[in-house]
């Protein structure tokens, strides 16, 4: 079928069932990682197949992002932390389309892909993740690199191998507006551990620069003993920390700070802020200026009852003000919870009921393991954001083993479609 678009014909993707009163509802999920995979398979199982679910993604693999901190050091390879999603979706009865979305048209209940093909839907789940905001601090992409995507981590690995042949000072940081502070800390401490293993620890000045108002803020306004514990790790590893600091630019051999200081380096890794993907950012009826989707506690968008957003794609209101802008981290654990909530509410709507399942982001439990090479810190809290009734940090070498165990578990669980397991 052809539909006339803006200046060119567009192919309408046909529905895969008969038209009529018994027509199954169509659910389209954008993104196939933690949020998209969980939402799609959960919904398919919840309705026992009485729904057509399609996942559309620009890539054909699932990535276990938390393990990217190890990849630059050769401790992980691409194939260790990814798997092909096609067989997983096929086994669950979910259709998979490897294609990037170009335009979301919620007023018409459809998504247009990069080839101009139209994908109609009754319900839409946006789980598209993010892109790096390279423009926030010029030079980061070219001169420092980062580790927040697979390609980024592989590039940082190339830079690390070059560094080992010509060592010097190192700068690790998280810019103003960044939210992935956990990864910055993990990489910092893993770098320190790798320097010691290489026998060059004493030759290298290691500096951490962060927008956080204090060490251990983590983008969640801290936890009990957090500042003390992180500071203790910093001193133990002889790391210089600069907090409450914005970056101006990164040249080929120095980071220029907002206060005028320059930090020379031979190797640098900087975590940038994120933006929503182009297709979401260009749809101003559902997204904010940064391309994230404001949602209700049901994870329905503020403007459309049949459009949901989960994980990195969903906007989170920062409940505090800091001198330098600090974002809120959105990791795999809360993303899975959001995806389950969205799937339950879509199932209710398909059954003719009002969606009532709610789980505000701030009330999702905090569960994170911060690896430090052969050590680490476990963060536990009953709520992601304050106020919390219970929260603690548990240091120790057991956390490195726990981090590895979680990697194996989540990859197995996701690959085999056992998304209802905790």
Residues designated as active site? 180, 368
Q: Measuring CA to CA, which residue among 271, 187, 180, 218 is closest to residue 384? A: 218
**Which pairs with CB-CB distance under 8 Å and at least 24 residues apart come from 248-251?**
248/137, 249/137, 249/138, 249/139, 250/137, 250/138, 250/139, 250/140, 250/142, 250/143, 250/144, 251/139, 251/143
Dihedral, CA atoms, 272, 297, 109, 281, nearest 10 degrees? -20
Peptide bond into 125 cis (omega under 30): no
Rounded Cα gap, residues 236 and 101, in angstroms? 47
The alpha-helical segments, DSSP class H, found in 4-122 are 34-46, 85-92
Rounded Cα gap, residues 350 and 348, in angstroms? 5
The distance in angstroms from the start CA to the end CA of the chain is 43
33: which DSSP letter?
Answer: S
Report yes or no: 209 and 242 within 8 Å, Cβ to Cβ. yes
C-alpha to C-alpha distances, 207 to 198, 263, 301, nearest whole angstrom? 18, 8, 41
Report yes or no: 169 and 264 within 8 Å, Cβ to Cβ. yes
């Amino acid at each position: 079928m052809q539909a006339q678009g803006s200046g060119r014909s567009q192919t309408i993707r046909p529905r895969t069932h008969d038209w009529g009163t018994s027509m199954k509802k169509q659910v389209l999920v954008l993104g196939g990682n933690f949020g998209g995979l969980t939402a799609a398979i959960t919904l398919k199982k919840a309705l026992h197949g009485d729904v057509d679910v399609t996942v559309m993604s620009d890539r054909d693999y699932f990535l276990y992002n938390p393990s990217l901190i190890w990849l630059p050091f050769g401790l992980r390879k691409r194939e260790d932390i990814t798997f092909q999603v096609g067989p997983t979706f096929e086994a669950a009865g979910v259709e998979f389309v490897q294609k990037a979305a170009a335009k979301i048209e919620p007023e018409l209940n459809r998504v247009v892909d990069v080839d101009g093909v139209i994908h109609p839907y009754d319900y839409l789940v946006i789980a598209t993740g993010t892109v790096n905001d390279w423009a926030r601090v010029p030079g980061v992409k070219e001169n420092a690199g980062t580790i927040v995507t697979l390609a980024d981590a592989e590039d940082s690995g190339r830079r690390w191998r070059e560094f080992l042949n010509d060592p010097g000072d190192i700068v690790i940081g998280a810019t103003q507006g960044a939210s992935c502070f956990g990864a910055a800390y993990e990489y910092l401490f893993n770098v320190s551990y790798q320097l010691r293993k290489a026998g060059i620890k004493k030759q290298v000045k290691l500096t951490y620069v962060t927008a956080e108002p204090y060490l251990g803020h983590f983008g969640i306004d801290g936890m009990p003993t957090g500042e003390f514990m992180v500071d203790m790790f910093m001193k133990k590893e002889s790391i210089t920390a600069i907090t409450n600091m914005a970056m101006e630019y990164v040249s080929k051999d120095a980071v220029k700070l907002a206060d005028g200081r320059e930090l020379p380096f031979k190797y640098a890794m900087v975590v940038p802020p994120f933006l929503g993907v182009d297709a979401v950012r260009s749809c101003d009826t559902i997204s904010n200026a940064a391309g994230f989707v404001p949602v209700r506690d049901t994870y329905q968008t503020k403007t459309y009852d049949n459009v949901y957003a989960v994980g990195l794609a969903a906007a989170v209101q920062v409940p505090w003000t800091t001198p330098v802008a600090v974002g809120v981290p959105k990791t795999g654990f809360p993303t899975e919870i959001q995806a389950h909530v969205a799937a339950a509410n879509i199932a209710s709507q398909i059954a003719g009921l009002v969606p009532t399942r709610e789980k505000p982001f701030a009330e999702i439990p905090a569960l994170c393991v911060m690896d430090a090479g052969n050590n680490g810190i476990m963060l536990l809290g009953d709520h992601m954001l304050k106020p919390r009734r219970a929260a603690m940090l548990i240091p120790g070498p057991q956390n490195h083993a726990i981090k590895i165990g979680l990697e194996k578990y989540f990859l197995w669980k996701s690959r085999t479609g056992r998304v209802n397991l905790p």
